[in-house]
C-alpha cells in the first residue's frame, strides 16, 4: 500500500471535522430528489440483486441505504472515520469499510456495480484516470458504474464550513469530458444526464450523472 497523496489527507481531515453537521444537513436530501432516485433505480436494475456493489465515498451512507432498499448487495467505503461512524450508527444492518477509492482492497473483477456519488469531486483532474482505472479494475466485465458530480468549470471553495477550521475545494466538471475520460480508461458510457437546479433540493448548480459499463 502506498502513502496517501496530500489531497486525500486533506479530504479526510475535512470530512472528519464536518461529518455530524454534513449528516444533519443532508440526511433527508434524497426524499426531495425523485430524479436522483430514478437514476439509482435504473442503476439497480442494470446491476441486479446478485453481485456485490460498492458505494465508494459513501459518507453517512444515505445512498448505500437507498441502494440496499432497492435490493442491491451493497457496502459503503469512505476515507473518513467520522463519516463511517455515522454510516454504521444510522445503518446497523449494512457494512461500511475505511479505504481510498484510489487503492481499493478488492480483487480484480470483484464487483457487479460501483457508485461514486459526489466522491470524485475532491480528486484532481490529473488523478481521475487513476481513480476510474482502479474502479474499472475491481468491476467485473459488464459491471456498471454510477457517477454523480456538480456541473461547472471552477471549483467551489468551502472555507470553515459550520465554523470548523478546515477548507476544501469541491470541483465542478462538465459531463462531456468526464464521459470521454471514462471511455479512455475502458468504460462504455450508457447515459449522461444533467439535472438542473430544483427548488426542493440543496443544489445550486446543475448536477451531472453518468452511467457506464465496464
Ligand X SMILES: C[S@@+](CC[C@H](N)C(=O)[O-])C[C@H]1O[C@@H](n2cnc3c(N)ncnc32)[C@H](O)[C@@H]1O
Residue 106 DSSP symbol = S
Interaction residues for ligand X, span 16-45 (CB under 6 A): 26
Number of chain residues interacting with ligand X (CB under 6 A): 20
62 binds ligand X (CB under 6 A): yes
Strands 156-159 and 96-98: unpaired
Q: Which stretch binds ligand X (CB under 6 A): 97-105, 138-146, 187-195, 200-208?
A: 97-105
Least spacing, CB of residue 152 vs ligand X, in Å? 15
CB 146 within 8 A of CB 209: yes
Answer yes or no: are the C-beta atoms of 146 and 39 closer than 8 Å: yes
For 174, counting Cβ atoms within 10 Å of its Cβ (0-12 exposed, 13-18 middle, 19+ buried), the class is: middle
Binding residue for ligand X, selected from 52, 119, 150, 207, defined by CB under 6 A: 119
Among 43, 75, 96, 117, binds ligand X (CB under 6 A): 117
Which of 117, 109, 107 is closest to 87 using CA atoms?
A: 117
Smallest distance, Å, CB 23 to ligand X?
A: 9
Cβ at position 50, least distance to ligand X in Å: 24
User: Under the criterion CB under 6 A, does residue 72 sit at the interface with ligand X?
Assistant: no
Closest to ligand X by CB, 72 vs 83, is 83
Strand partners, 116: 147
Contact (CB, 8 A) for 205 and 150: yes
Q: Which stretch binds ligand X (CB under 6 A): 72-80, 157-165, 185-193, 206-214?
A: 72-80
**Using CA atoms, how far apart are residues 209 and 199, in angstroms rounded to an integer?**
19
Binds ligand X by CB under 6 A, chosen from 57, 113, 143, 175: 57
**Pattern 136-155, ligand X, x by CB under 6 A:** --------------------
The Cα 201–Cα 193 span in angstroms is 17
Segment interacting with ligand X, rule: CB under 6 A, options 55-63, 134-142, 161-169, 194-202: 55-63
- What is the nearest approach in angstroms of ligand X to the Cβ of residue 84? 9
- The rounded distance, in Å, linking the Cα atoms of 115 and 145 is 6
DSSP notation for 147-161: EEEE--SS-EEEESG
Give the footprint of ligand X on this chain (CB under 6 A): 8, 11, 15, 26, 57-59, 62-63, 78-80, 83, 100-102, 117-119, 122
Amino acid at each position: 500500500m502506498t502513502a496517501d497523496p496530500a489531497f486525500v489527507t486533506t479530504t479526510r481531515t475535512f470530512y472528519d471535522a464536518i461529518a455530524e453537521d454534513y449528516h444533519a444537513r443532508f440526511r433527508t436530501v434524497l426524499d426531495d430528489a425523485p430524479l436522483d432516485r430514478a437514476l439509482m433505480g435504473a442503476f439497480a436494475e442494470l446491476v441486479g440483486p446478485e453481485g456485490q456493489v460498492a458505494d465508494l465515498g459513501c459518507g453517512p451512507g444515505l445512498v448505500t441505504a437507498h441502494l440496499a432498499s432497492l435490493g442491491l448487495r451493497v457496502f459503503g467505503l469512505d476515507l473518513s472515520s467520522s463519516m463511517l461512524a455515522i454510516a454504521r450508527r444510522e445503518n446497523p444492518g449494512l457494512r461500511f469499510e475505511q479505504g481510498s477509492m484510489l487503492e481499493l482492497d478488492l480483487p480484480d473483477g470483484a464487483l457487479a456495480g460501483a457508485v461514486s456519488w459526489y466522491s470524485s469531486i475532491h480528486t484532481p483532474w490529473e488523478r481521475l484516470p487513476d481513480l476510474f482505472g482502479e474502479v474499472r479494475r475491481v468491476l467485473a466485465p459488464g459491471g456498471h458504474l454510477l457517477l454523480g458530480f456538480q456541473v461547472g468549470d471552477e471549483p467551489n471553495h468551502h472555507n470553515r464550513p459550520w465554523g470548523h477550521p478546515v477548507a476544501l475545494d469541491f470541483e465542478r466538471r462538465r459531463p462531456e469530458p468526464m464521459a470521454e475520460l471514462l471511455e479512455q480508461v475502458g468504460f462504455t458510457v450508457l447515459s449522461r444526464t444533467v439535472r438542473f437546479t430544483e427548488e426542493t433540493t440543496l443544489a445550486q448548480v446543475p448536477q451531472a450523472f453518468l452511467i457506464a459499463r465496464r
